[in-house]
Every structure is written in structure tokens, then in C-alpha cells.
């Protein structure tokens, strides 16, 4: 099955991102195709490389990056949500006059159209949120 | 980069039934505003769109919203613009209105007020449900 996933909550504050990660991992292991994971609302905070969680805890951003690299999964942060919350790649930082970027490896920033497209293209769009 | 620049790659003529389900009050959290942003961007994809309001989500459509005191943008006029984006199927859950002492007359747009059975049927017939 071709699956789209939407993540609406940030890391640690809420389990949504953990549940989405476990779901994506399990789906890939079962042979399903993950068309895209789209991060919206505070979900874009999953895509910062600057988080430093305690060493005995899971690293949510790194875990997504590693999963994306291993299985070639498209991780997309909503541009409007990311701009509000200070998540930027090099292009966005430059465009908006910021002195740094902070996007984690394997993530990219794009528009809400990518979410709608996932809804159109996928057999199922699975939403993880509050 | 802005949202408008990034609209591309739709479904090549595929039309699906999309339901945006709004469950939360307009202020207090950002879900309502960012849901509306998805509806507006999504309109460019010419899908079969419905928008439903349940629980505190019914407050999103109430008349006379005044946000000056909380220093937030009053985005309620945007719901009136949905018609121009061909988003015309708006549903409000009757029980949620009743629980809050609201009626259809308290709302800024024309909606269809539905009961639990109708709301369940509406959800059942959708292909994509985005819940906010």
C-alpha cells in the first residue's frame, strides 16, 4: 500500500512523532511504500538538528534522519509552519535574512501542496496528532 | 519561498473527497488558523472539498470575534472568502452548537447543520480526512 503520513506535534512534548516514527518503520518493514512524511503545526520542530536531548533518551530528529537515509523516505516540513517557528534550511535562512539555518539531514522544506498531493496520490493518509 | 510558489504535482485529474475536520477554538492554539491555511492552499488542487466544524471548532465561525485584547489576528473574515475558492460545503455539528448555546444565526457563513448520523455518514464517504 502507498502511504502518506502527517505529523502535527513537536518532539518530546507529545507522542505523535514517536508513534508516526514507529508506524513508518513498521510499514516499511512490512513492505509498504511511504510516499511522504509531512510535518505540520509544531511538527516542524521534529526537523531541527540543534536539539540536544539527554543521552539516555531517544533522539527524535536523528531517528527520523536515519530512517530517511536508510529507506529513502521523503521528509517534508511545511514552509509556512517552519517560518513561524524558526526552522530554516540554507535557502530559507538567506531569503528571510537569518544568520543561520537549523534543518536536520534528510528533511526538506516545501509547501502545503505537498500534503494535499500526498492525500491525492496515496492509498491512505495517516494523521498523527493531538 | 512561499506557499503559492510551491503548488505543483497534483493527481493528474484525480479528484478525491477531502474533509477538513475542525475541532478546536479559533484562538488558544494555532490549529484553526493553520487548518484554514491548508484549506486555502488545497483549493488550488480542485478536489471535492468539505469542511466540518465540531466541538469547540464551531467557535471558529461565530460572529463578532474581537481579538484586540489577545493581540492576535482575527482571521474569521477569511471563512467568508472560502466561497470564492469554491469551498462551499460547510457542515456544523448540531450537538456542538447546542452544547454551547449557539444557533446557525450566530455564525458568519451559511452552513449545513447536521446531526450525529449525518456527520458520521459525511465522514464515512470521504477518501481523505484531515483532522485539526
Reported confidence tier of residue B84, pLDDT bands at 50, 70, 90: very high
Partners of B16 on chain A (C-beta within 8 Å) are: 119-120
B1 inside 8 A of chain A by CB: yes
Tens digits of per-residue pLDDT, B22-35?
999 999 999 999 99
Q: Does the ipTM exceed 0.85?
A: yes
Domains and CATH numbers, chain A: 2-128 (3.40.1260.10)
What would the grid cell of residue A81 be?
A: 509552519
Residues 12 to 51 of A: which have CB under 8 A from any B CB?
40-41
Which pLDDT belongs to residue A116? 97
The DSSP code sequence of A69-89 is HHHT--EEEEHHHHHHHT---
CB contact under 8 A, B7 and A113: yes
Instruction: Collect all residues of chain A within an 8 Å Cβ-Cβ radius of residue B47.
Output: 116, 119-120
In B19-58, the residues whose Cβ lies within 8 Å of chain A are: 30-31, 34, 37-38, 41-42, 44-45, 47
Cβ–Cβ of B38/A127 closer than 8 Å?
no
Q: Taking a C-beta distance cutoff of 8 angstroms, is the pair B124, B13 a contact?
A: no
Residue B88 to residue B112: CA distance in whole angstroms:
10
Identify the burial level of A79 via C-beta atoms within 10 angstroms of its C-beta, where 0-12 means exposed, 13-18 middle and 19 or more buried.
Answer: buried
Helix, strand, or coil here: A114? helix
Q: What is the mean pLDDT of chain B?
A: 93
- Please enumerate in sequence order all residues whose Cβ is within 8 A of that of A53, keeping only pairs 6 or more positions apart, or say none: A12, A59, A60
Q: What digits encode the pLDDT tens for the residues A17-65?
A: 999 999 999 999 999 999 999 999 999 999 999 999 999 999 999 999 9
> Between A and B, how many CB-CB pairs are < 8 A?
83
CA-CA distances (angstroms) from residue B60 to A68, B9, B15, B67, B93?
37, 31, 27, 12, 13
Q: What is the dihedral of CA A75, A79, A83, A84, to 10 degrees?
A: -90
Q: Can you tell me the distance from the alpha carbon of A19 to that of B25, in angstroms, rounded to the nearest whole number?
A: 25
The arithmetic mean of pLDDT across residues B65-69, rounded, is 96
A78 is known as an active-site residue: yes
CA distances from A128 to A7, A18, A43, A84, B64 (A): 5, 9, 10, 21, 33
Q: Is B15-131 assigned to CATH 3.40.1260.10?
A: yes
Residue B120, phi then psi, degrees to nearest 5? -65, -40
Give the mutation candidate from A4, A98, A113 for the B interface (greatest B CB count, under 10 A). A113
Domain ranges of chain B: 15-131
pLDDT at B64 over 90: yes
Q: Which among B37, B130, B131 is the top mutation candidate for probing chain A, defined by the most A β-carbons within 10 Å of its own β-carbon?
A: B130
Burial class for A33, CB neighbours closer than 10 Å (0-12, 13-18, 19+)? middle
Q: Do A116 and B3 touch (CB under 8 A)?
A: no
Amino acid at each position: 500500500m502507498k502511504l502518506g503520513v502527517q505529523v502535527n506535534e513537536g518532539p518530546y512534548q507529545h507522542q505523535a512523532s514517536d508513534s508516526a516514527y514507529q508506524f513508518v518503520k513498521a510499514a516499511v518493514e512490512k513492505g509498504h511504500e511511504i510516499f511522504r512524511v509531512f510535518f505540520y503545526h509544531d511538527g516542524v520542530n521534529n526537523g531541527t538538528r540543534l536539539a540536544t536531548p539527554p543521552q539516555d533518551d531517544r533522539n527524535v530528529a536523528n531517528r527520523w534522519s536515519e530512517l530517511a537515509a536508510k529507506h529513502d523516505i521523503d521528509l517534508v516540513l511545511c514552509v509556512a509552519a517552519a517560518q513561524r517557528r524558526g526552522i530554516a534550511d540554507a535557502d530559507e535562512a538567506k531569503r528571510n535574512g537569518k544568520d543561520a539555518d537549523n534543518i536536520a539531514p534528510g528533511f526538506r522544506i516545501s509547501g502545503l501542496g505537498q500534503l494535499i498531493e500526498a492525500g491525492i496520490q496515496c492509498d491512505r493518509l495517516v494523521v498523527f496528532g493531538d | 519561498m512561499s506557499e503559492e510558489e510551491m503548488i505543483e504535482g497534483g493527481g493528474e485529474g484525480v479528484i478525491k473527497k477531502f474533509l477538513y475536520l475542525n475541532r478546536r477554538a479559533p484562538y488558544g492554539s494555532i490549529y484553526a488558523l493553520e487548518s484554514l491555511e491548508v484549506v486555502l492552499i488545497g483549493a488550488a488542487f480542485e478536489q471535492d472539498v468539505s469542511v466540518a466544524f465540531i466541538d469547540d471548532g464551531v467557535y471558529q465561525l461565530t460572529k463578532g470575534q474581537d481579538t484586540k485584547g489577545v493581540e492576535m489576528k482575527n482571521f474569521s473574515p477569511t471563512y467568508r472568502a472560502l466561497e470564492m475558492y469554491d469551498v462551499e460545503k460547510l457542515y456544523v455539528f448540531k450537538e456542538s452548537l447546542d452544547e454551547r448555546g449557539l444557533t446557525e444565526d450566530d455564525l458568519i457563513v451559511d452552513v449545513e447543520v447536521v446531526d450525529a448520523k449525518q456527520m458520521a455518514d459525511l465522514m464515512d464517504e470521504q477518501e481523505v480526512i484531515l483532522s485539526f
